Amino acid sequence: MLLSDDMSKITKDREKLVEQIVPGAGTPGIPLDLHARTMPRLIRLVCSDKEGEAPRGTIKVAPGLGVWSVVSLSNWGDYKARIGVSNHSLELGDDKGKGYHTFNVWTNVYKYQPGGDNVTFERTLNSHETQIVVVKPVVPGVPTYIGSTFHFTSGFEIFKFESKTNPNHGSLQVTFKPGHFKPDGIAFFFLPCIWAEGGYNDDVIVHVNNRVIKSENFKMAATLDDGTVLAVKCGLEKTAMEISIVW
């Protein structure tokens, strides 16, 4: 990704965008429609925890995070348009057909998208607008780090990820790499357990750097058939930050 702005003159709003793409992932994405148009509208970057050398257009991430795609959707036309990409064009790892976690990087919005044989991830874009969308499969029974407002890949910023589950309880622990990321923000997690509205407050304990945080600093972002999406407010410190969740 290129930054064409004079960095000394950009506004505070655009500074936030820069913080989410720095440092770079070190690997260019692959245009998916290069032969169909002069300026590609779809660019895909794959994130993978598989062992071995990373294929072209793929970055390696910490073990346990899985395989997912980050896609750039661009509208180079003069009018507002719907731009989308098919699930068949994305690398989505252990896709069980249970739907997808999607995370809009610029707006920091989580959205669940139902699964199916042919799923299109679409966004309405203004003229010359680009959005970056993270797409991860919903894997029943498996705790998942969905992403955060810290880095556009929703995974490059992670140093270590571990999780444990049994039929009634579970835990996960994620350690962020130190430095270079937004000093505060929100991280999203999928927990394979379902609570009634507000009921999770009594059953979920969240630690940030070994300190229990108050329940007002985390909330239920979505309830799915196979679990709950939890949003946790947190801040990256000068040393690596760790989040642990027990339920």
β-partners of residue 46 are: 58, 69
The two structure tokens encoding residue 97:
């057909």
Alpha carbon distance 47, 177 (integer Å): 16
Other residues' Cβ atoms within 10 Å of the Cβ of residue 5: 13
Report the DSSP beta bridge partners of residue 74.
130
**DSSP E strands: which ranges in 140-241?**
144-148, 158-165, 170-176, 185-191, 205-208, 211-212, 218-224, 227-234
Ramachandran region, residue 15 (left: φ > 0; alpha: ψ -120 to 50; beta: rest)? alpha
Instruction: Please count the other Cβ atoms lying within 10 Å of the Cβ belonging to residue 185.
Output: 19
Return the amino acid letter for 27. Answer: T
**pLDDT in 10s for each residue of the chain, 247 residues:** 444 445 455 555 554 444 445 445 668 889 998 877 778 999 999 999 999 888 899 999 999 999 999 999 999 999 999 999 999 999 999 898 899 999 999 888 999 999 998 999 999 999 999 999 999 999 999 999 999 888 888 899 999 999 999 877 899 999 988 765 455 788 999 999 887 665 666 689 999 888 898 888 898 899 999 999 999 987 666 666 899 999 9
